[in-house]
Amino acid sequence: MKFLCLECNTAMKFKESKAPEGGALTAIFECPDCFGEIAMHMNPWETQMLKSLDVQLGGKSDSAPPMQMVRSFLSDPNEGAFSSGHAPEHASSTASEPEGGKCPFTSVVADAFQNQAPEPVDLVWTEDALERLNRIPSFVQSMAKAGIEEFAREKGIAEITGEVMDAARGNFGM
Amino acid sequence: MKTYNDLPSDGGSDVAGQVARQVGRLTKRLQSVSHTVAIMSGKGGVGKSSITANLASALALRGKRVGVLDADINGPSIAKMMGVRGASVEYGTEGVTPATSPLGVKVMSMDLFLKDDDTPVLWEAQTQKDAFTWRGTMEISALREFLSDTEWGSLDYLLIDLPPGTDRLPNLIDLLPNLGGTIVVTIPSGVSQLVVKKSLTMAKEIVNIPIVGLVENMAAYVCADCGKTENLFPASDTAEMARRFQIPLLGKIPFDPRISMAADNGNTFVEKYPDTSASHSISEIAEKTESFFNHNT
């Protein structure tokens, strides 16, 4: 899909994406000549199709961790299979790739960390931390949760609080 | 006004480049695999997975390095049949280490990632309504990741157990254009063979993949008490089908309830009951498979 600025007859460039709202992703394109912008709203099915292709708006680094798509989007997985104990060192960096800011889904994770978040597992989550986790869009929740728990275990932290989440976010470079 | 082809890029996403890199990653991964073989039928319930698991073990018993990819994303059964269900997959920097069967067969299956017996494969989405629009694409992406992100290491054979459906082979070919060959499984029923013929046409004439041969499963029943062989189905025309499509009939595997019992217990039949008629048939199929690739590569 390509976008043309009719005013300038120039190809528009991807500028940024907005977190899916109700499953509908928004991508902003800008004309490099007149700086005019357009927003492309994708309905939930189009957004899901983009996810299923495992491609990212704005480009994607070549160093995606193994099984990134399956690990990110499989519902209700075996916790052991995706737990930090088995995750690759860079698995949680899914949300911190150099171009992560351009990825609509990793951006969502970053936003969620900035604003709020969660839900529980073997580690103890405080109420406010759980609340923040629950505010993360469901399809990236498991990935975010695994990343935070991995961070907590590495630091020997037994209770996950909002502060721990903030620290984890900083650790991921988001 | 400029048209689509006048515009040099898609605005910076480089979706075509992303897809090309996915293909490159897969190609690089499979460079150390000598032969990729799809086990297919088109028809469900003919024993593809059982034959895949046993053929893998038979090849391993012949000293070959073997991997099995369970391409049945929604109905995975290979992990259970090969006794690796519940095994942990290990993440490394270069990929995911697959489960390994007692005979050293490397196994990758969606089953290794599911929470429990009752958990179906569902993908995170705002809604599962109208998921038909994207679910198939998600499954193909998962299959691509299984192929490209599993640390298969050096293998002589990577067997790919395809789910039912005559469309499965062309879907796989989109991922693996250099698929080495396919083994087609049928049972001696007219209904099965009706569907299998479509699969053979697909493989031979549409996607032009070498056919290693045809396998007739549940060919007969051998009485455990007296050893007498009885047909399970009316007269079979599997041999005629092989002649018509000019492909080898690799073998006929008699029905043996212990095949199912062994699978339920996580054992492969050829390992547990090597001195049986069915095991001999499977071993012969393994030998012919090896012979096929020795002569065609």
Residues A122-141: tens digit of each pLDDT:
678 888 888 888 777 665 67
The answer to whether A75 contacts B123, with C-beta atoms less than 8 Å apart, is yes
Let me know the angle formed at the C-alpha of B149 by B143 and B155, rounded to the nearest 5 degrees.
Answer: 95
Distance set, CA B159 to CA B147, B180, B187 (Å): 11, 10, 20
Is A110 inside any structural domain? Answer: yes
More confident residue, A87 or B158: B158
Residues A10 and B112: their CA atoms lie apart, in Å, by 49
Q: Is residue A95 part of a domain?
A: yes
User: Nearest residue of B to residue A43 by CA position?
Assistant: B126
**Does residue A63 sit at the B interface (CB-CB below 8 Å)?**
no
Cβ atoms A48, A23 nearer than 8 A: yes
Using H for helix, E for strand and C for coil, what is the string for A17-71?
EEEEECCEEEEEEECCCCCCEEEEECCHHHHHHHHHHCCCCCCCCCCCCCCHHHH
pLDDT on residue A171: 61
A85 and A167: one domain?
Answer: yes
A114 and A162 belong to one structural domain: yes
Q: Is residue A59 part of a domain?
A: no
How many Cβ pairs within 8 Å bridge chains A and B?
A: 150
What is the percentage of chain B residues whose pLDDT exceeds 90? 67
B20 pLDDT band, cuts 50/70/90, is confident
- Quote the CA–CA distance of B210 and B203 in Å, as a whole number: 8
Indicate whether A144 and A71 sit together in one domain: yes
Q: Which residues of A touch B135 (CB under 8 A)?
A: 52
Indicate which of A30, A43, A48 best probes the interface with B, i.e. most B CBs within 10 Å of its own CB. A48
Q: Which domain-ending residue is among A53, A77, A92?
A: A53
Residue at A58 is within a domain: no
Same domain, A91 and A49: no
Written as six digits, the tokens of A107 are 């951006």
Co-location of A48 and A98 in the same domain:
no
Q: Return d(Cα A68, Cα A92) in angstroms, integer.
A: 10
Mean pLDDT over all residues of chain B?
Answer: 92
Structure tokens that stand for B260 in this block: 């199912």
Any B CB within 8 A of A2 CB = yes
**Strand, coil or helix: B297:** coil
Interface test with A, best of B124, B143, B152 (most A CBs within 10 A): B124
As given in the structure block, the two tokens for residue B228 are: 């007498």
Provide mean pLDDT across the span B12-38. 91
Helical spans, DSSP H, in A54-161: 68-73, 79-82, 104-115, 127-134, 138-155
Where in the sequence is the domain holding A7, given as residue range(s)? 1-53
pLDDT in tens, A88-115: 333 333 333 333 333 444 444 334 333 3
Average pLDDT over residues B233-243: 87
Scanning chain B, the segments in alpha helix (DSSP H) are 15-29, 48-61, 78-81, 135-149, 168-175, 190-201, 238-244, 257-264, 269-272, 277-296
Of the listed ranges A66-80, A135-149, B92-106, B219-233, the one predicted with least confidence: A135-149
- A22-26, A120-124, A166-170, B16-20: segment of lowest average pLDDT: A120-124
In terms of domains, do A69 and A39 share one? no
Decide if B77 contacts B220 (C-beta within 8 A): no
A33: in domain: yes
Q: What is the pLDDT of residue B13?
A: 87
Residue with tokens 């490397």: B106
Number of domains chain A is built from: 2
- Yes or no, beta carbons of B134 and A48 under 8 Å apart: yes
Say yes or no: A13 and A48 in one domain.
yes
- Per CB-CB distance under 8 Å, the chain B contacts of A92 are none
Strongest mean pLDDT among B15-19, B40-44, B270-274:
B270-274
Q: Tell me, what's the pLDDT at B142? A: 94
Q: Please tell me whether residues A97 and A21 are part of one structural domain.
A: no
Identify the sign of the CA torsion B263, B173, B36, B211. Answer: positive
Do A9 and A69 belong together in one domain? Answer: no
The C-alpha atoms of residue A20 and residue B149 are separated, in whole angstroms, by 28
Percent of chain B having pLDDT more than 70?
100
Lowest mean pLDDT among A79-83, A90-94, B148-152, B174-178: A90-94
Q: What pLDDT sits at residue A116?
A: 35
Q: Are strands B106-108 and B66-70 parallel, antiparallel or unpaired?
A: parallel
**Which carries the bigger pLDDT value, residue B276 or residue A135?**
B276
Distance CA(B7)–CA(A165), nearest Å, equals 43
Using a CB-CB distance cutoff of 8 angstroms, which residues of chain B are in contact with residue A55?
13, 15, 18-19
- Does residue A44 sit within a domain? yes
Chain B CB contacts of A88 below 8 Å: 91-93
Cβ distance A81 to B112 less than 8 Å, yes or no, reads: yes
Residue A92 belongs to a domain: yes
Q: Indicate whether A171 and A112 sit together in one domain.
A: yes
Which residue is associated with the tokens 């990343």?
A: A147
Q: Which of A85, A92, A46 lies closest to A68 in space, CA to CA?
A: A92
The position carrying tokens 């989405």 is B125
Give me the pLDDT at residue B71, please.
Answer: 96
As given in the structure block, the two tokens for residue A137 are 């869009």
Q: How far is CA B142 from the centre of its chain?
A: 15
Nearest-CA residue of chain A relative to B93? A88
Please indicate, yes or no, if residue A124 is contained in any of the structural domains: yes
DSSP at B227: -
Mean pLDDT of B129-153: 92
Q: Give A-chain residues touching B119 at CB under 8 angstroms.
A: 76
* CB–CB contact B4 A60 (8 Å): no
The secondary element (H helix, E strand) that includes residue A170 is: helix A162-172
What CATH number is attached to the domain comprising A46?
A: 2.20.25
Domains of chain B: 29-296 (3.40.50.300)
Q: For residue B121, which residues of chain A lie inside 8 Å, CB to CB?
A: 74
* A118 and A158 co-located in one domain: yes
| A34 shares a domain with A77 | no
Beta bridge partners of B213: B183
Q: What percent of chain A has pLDDT over 90?
A: 18
Hey, what amino acid is at B169? L
Nearest one of A38, A148, A28 to A87, comparing CA atoms: A148
